[in-house]
Amino acid sequence: MRYDRVYNFSAGPAMMPESVLEEIAAEVLNYHGSGMSVMEMSHRSPVFQEILSQAEADLRTLMHIPDNYKVLFVQGGGTVQFAMVPMNLMKNGVACYVETGAWSKKAIAEAKRYGEVKIVASSADKNFSYLPDCSALDIPGNADYVYICENETINGTAYHTLPDTKGKVLVADQSSLFLSRPCDVSKYGLIWAGVQKNVGPAGMAIVIIREDLIREDLPEFVPTYLRYKTHADADSLYNTPNCWSIYCCGKVFQYLLANGGLEAMAQRNEEKAAVLYDFLDRSKFFTAAVLKEDRSLMNVPFVSPSKEQDAEVAASAKAAGFDNLKGHKSVGGLRASIYNAMPKEGVEALVDFLKKYEAEHT
């Protein structure tokens, strides 16, 4: 790696494409002859307006977002969306959630503040190591929406087929697989993603919402900033937005467009993940944590024979230039997050390291 960089397997904030960082570095002091950095620029200036509208246009192109969906750049990261979704979409006060791990549990806990939450499927019985069958969910007629975490960053599961929501609005937290594969936006009512995994700097979420779900008749208690309508009406400029994050995300959208779009990303990500999973499935020392058919291509949790060995693997890996392999503190073990920006060579080098480690410790 150039610039003394390491292979960074962090779950987020995560690696960004090197060429994007180089472009940003070249523009950091003087953006396109404006004489200032994007960090120093008024969000109402024509220069920034152009950055914002180009970012939105590029995202629309990348994801083929239909015209009847709004794209919103909202501050507060993913956690704010746990609250905004129920506050804005619970009209009847009933919502269905699929419980698949740490992040859907957080969403469930937050939704319970605003209404009745029906858990229509769960994989809690086996420590969230698989995805429950979502082909015949028992969804009440008055449910406002069905919510999934499409990729559980900590537990390492990802949907490869969307649930049958019986015509109800599908809401998905796509944070950790956003832009990693093509997505048919028309199948969802609302998609949201915290950007710090596959896109840009933390502190912002991108929300893609079907226009008819943007309500005016919300309860008085819903704060102005937490209404999707506020952001939709103001084209994401209701207040000072996270200009820097929008700018960096825009750079990544351009990088993705120039590198084959989401189809190419999906192919690369499948090849990359296969390198790691094939090794884990053959290894007698390391074990992948998730059932084969439900595995995430982005977050790969695995374990060695003991907690002590897990810690030792993570420490020796770090010393060898493979950083952030320690599993999330709530589940332990090891985890390699291999988002779009992780090159295949990084995964191959990690596998070589793990193979060597295994040979030396068995």
Nearer to ligand PLP by C-beta: 41 or 154?
154
Contact positions vs ligand PLP (CB under 6 A): 12, 77-79, 103, 149, 153, 173, 175-176, 194, 202
Give the shortest CB-132-to-ligand PLP separation in angstroms. 17
Nearer to ligand PLP by C-beta: 82 or 322?
82
DSSP string spanning 321-362? TEE--BPPTTT-SEEEE--TTS-HHHHHHHHHHHHHHHHHH-
Report whether 126 contacts 77 (CB < 8 A): no
79 is in an annotated binding site: yes
259 is in an annotated binding site: no
240 is in an annotated binding site: yes
Report whether 303 contacts 287 (CB < 8 A): yes
Nearer to ligand PLP by C-beta: 156 or 346?
156
235 is in an annotated binding site: no
| Enzyme catalytic residues | 103, 173, 197
Is the peptide bond preceding residue 219 cis, with omega within 30 degrees of 0? no
Give the shortest CB-356-to-ligand PLP separation in angstroms. 31
The position carrying tokens 């070249």 is 26
Give the shortest CB-156-to-ligand PLP separation in angstroms. 11
Nearer to ligand PLP by C-beta: 341 or 354?
341
Nearer to ligand PLP by C-beta: 146 or 354?
146
Q: Taking the chain, what is the end-to-end CA distance rounded to the nearest angstrom?
A: 30
Dihedral (CA of 71, 184, 145, 130) sign: negative
44 is in an annotated binding site: yes
277 φ, ψ (degrees, to nearest 5): -65, -40
153 is in an annotated binding site: yes
Give the shortest CB-175-to-ligand PLP separation in angstroms. 4
- Which distant-in-sequence residues (6+ apart) come within 8 Å of 38 by Cβ? 27, 31, 48, 51, 243, 244, 247
Dihedral (CA of 202, 191, 104, 344) sign: negative
What strands, in cross-sheet order, belong to the sheet with 287-288?
A: 287-288, 299-303, 334-337
Q: What is the 3-state secondary structure (H, E, C) of 191-231?
A: EEEECCCCCCCCCEEEEEEEHHHCCCCCCCCCCHHHCHHHH
Write out the two tokens for 304: 């060695």
Binding residues: 44, 78-79, 103, 153, 173, 196, 239-240
Binding residues for pyridoxal 5'-phosphate: 78-79, 103, 153, 173, 196, 239-240
Binding residues for L-glutamate: 44
